[in-house]
Amino acid sequence: MSGIEGKVIAVTGASSGIGEATATYLGEKGARLVLGARREDRLNAVVDKIKAAGGTATGVIVDVTRREDLQRLTDTAIDQFGRLDVLVSNAGTMAVSPFDDLRQDDWDAMVSVHITGLLNGIGAALPVFREQRSGQFVNVGSTAAYVVKPPQAVYAATKTAVKVLTEGLRQESGPDLRVTLVSPGFTNTEGVGKGASPEAAAAMTQQRDAIAMPPSAIAAAIGYAIEQPEGVDVSEIVVRPTVQA
Ligand X SMILES: NC(=O)c1ccc[n+]([C@@H]2O[C@H](COP(=O)([O-])OP(=O)(O)OC[C@H]3O[C@@H](n4cnc5c(N)ncnc54)[C@H](OP(=O)(O)O)[C@@H]3O)[C@@H](O)[C@H]2O)c1
CA 232 – CA 178 distance, rounded (Å): 8
Q: Is 155 assigned a catalytic role?
A: yes
> Cβ 133 to ligand X, closest distance in Å?
29
The answer to whether 35 and 10 have CB atoms below 8 angstroms apart is yes
> Cβ 224 to ligand X, closest distance in Å?
17
Nearer to ligand X, 76 or 187 (CB): 187
Q: Is 194 helix (H, G, I), strand (E, B) or coil?
A: coil
Backbone angles phi, psi at 244, to 5 degrees: -80, 130
Nearer to ligand X, 6 or 150 (CB): 150
Nearer to ligand X, 62 or 234 (CB): 62
Interface ranges with ligand X (CB under 6 A): 12-19, 37-39, 42, 62-65, 90-94, 113, 140, 142, 184, 186-187, 189-192, 194
Task: Provide the terminal-to-terminal Cα distance of the chain, rounded to the nearest Å.
Answer: 38
Task: Find the helix packing angle between 216-227 and 17-28, rounded to 10°.
Answer: 50
> Cβ 87 to ligand X, closest distance in Å?
13
The answer to whether 191 and 173 have CB atoms below 8 angstroms apart is no
Catalytically active residues, by annotation: 155
